[in-house]
Structure formats: structure tokens, C-alpha cells
Amino acid sequence: KLLHNPLEIEMARRNTASDQVTQHVHFVDKKRKRELLSHMIGKGNWQQVLVFTRTKHGANHLAEQLNKDGIRSAAIHGNKSQGARTRALADFKSGDIRVLVATDIAARGLDIEELPHVVNYELPNVPEDYVHRIGRTGRAAATGEALSLVCVDEHKLLRDIEKLLKKEI
């Protein structure tokens, strides 16, 4: 028998990055990451940036530092109340804050339409988490940019991510 009106559905392979996402790596000294991030946000006039850190403390500290640099930021992670996370996300979506600094767990399930920039301030320990992180941008028909700030002690993590993706970033 032949099918009438067949439908073909394409799905992305697991643990692959969207072709809609441009990926960049900047090798930088650990002590200069925040300075470089602030410079890129300012120079590029980025209005909406999701930044990933490995720890809750790191997320809080980075958000504080970016605020001191004059870049309105907030942190979301598991130690924040649901109300604080909801408020931070609403402020981010409305443009009241430009940068949302998050841990991997806190960012699961975040739905931000047409998010233009994702930054890996610190690479994740698990390569698959990299794919989840950068998957926050480049959704639907929108394009996005994923930037990773990599210091010398993260080179192995980068190699593991590239091995998973089967390509050099």
C-alpha cells in the first residue's frame, strides 16, 4: 500500500548543536574573563545575554561584578527563591536587566524567545551540558551566538566538548 499525504519529520541528533548557532572560543587568562565579558557586552551593545557559570557562588559574584561595571545583571540558581528567579527572568525578558547569570540546573527549561547571545563564562564539566547551554539560543528560525571564555585549565574540557560535537569550535 502507498501512503496518502505522507509527512516527513526531521529531528536534530542528540548532543549536536544547532546550525543556527555560531560558536566562538576566546582563550583568556582566568583573571581577565570578567573584564573581557564586560568589554564584549559593551562593545557589541549586547542587550540580552545568558551567561553560564559552574557554581552558585560564581553566578552571584559575576552578577555583582557586572553590575559594578554598569551592566544590569542578575543571578539565578538553586539557592534563589522561586520568586527571585521568576522576577529575574521577567526583568531579563523585559530588558530591565541585560545579563542573566545562571547555573546549568537553574537554566533547564528556561524559555527565552530569540535569545541572541549565550556565554560560557566557565565551560561545563560534562560535555553534554555545553549542548544544553548553547541550545538556549538559535531556536526556531532565529540565529544565535555562543561564546566560550576558555582559560588554560579548561583546555581538556574544550577538547571533550569538541570530541562530542565531532568538530573544532
HSE (side-chain half, CA atoms, 13 Å) at 143:
4
Residue 21: phi and psi, rounded to 5, are -105, 120
Residue 5: per-residue pLDDT? 74
The pLDDT of residue 159 is 98
What angle in degrees, to the nearest 10, is found between the helix axes of 155-165 and 127-134? Answer: 70
* 167: Cβ contacts below 8 Å, ≥ 6 apart: none
Whether 124 is in a domain gets the answer yes
Predicted local distance difference test score (pLDDT) of residue 137: 79
* Nearest residue to 123 (alpha-carbon basis) of 88, 160, 98, 91: 160
Rounded to an integer, what distance in angstroms lies between the CA atom of residue 23 and that of residue 19?
A: 10
Domain-embedded: residue 7: no
Q: Note the pTM of the prediction, 2 decimals.
A: 0.87
Domain count, the chain: 1
pLDDT of residue 7: 67
If phi > 0 it is left, if psi is from -120 to 50 it is alpha, else beta; for residue 15 that is left
Q: Give dist(CA 50, CA 117) in Å, integer.
A: 6
- Asked if the structure places residue 2 within a domain, the reply is no
Q: Please report whether residue 115 resides in a domain.
A: yes
Residue 5 lies in a domain: no
Assigned domain for 11 exists: no
Task: Tell me if 1 is assigned to some domain.
Answer: no
Domain span at residue 74 reads 21-165
pLDDT along the chain (169 residues), means of 10: 65 56 95 98 96 97 98 96 94 96 83 89 95 80 88 98 94
Residue indicated by cell numbers 573584564: 35
pLDDT for position 109: 73
Q: Quote the cell numbers at residue 121.
A: 563564562
Question: Is position 121 within any domain?
Answer: yes
Identify the CATH number of the domain in which residue 88 sits.
Answer: 3.40.50.300
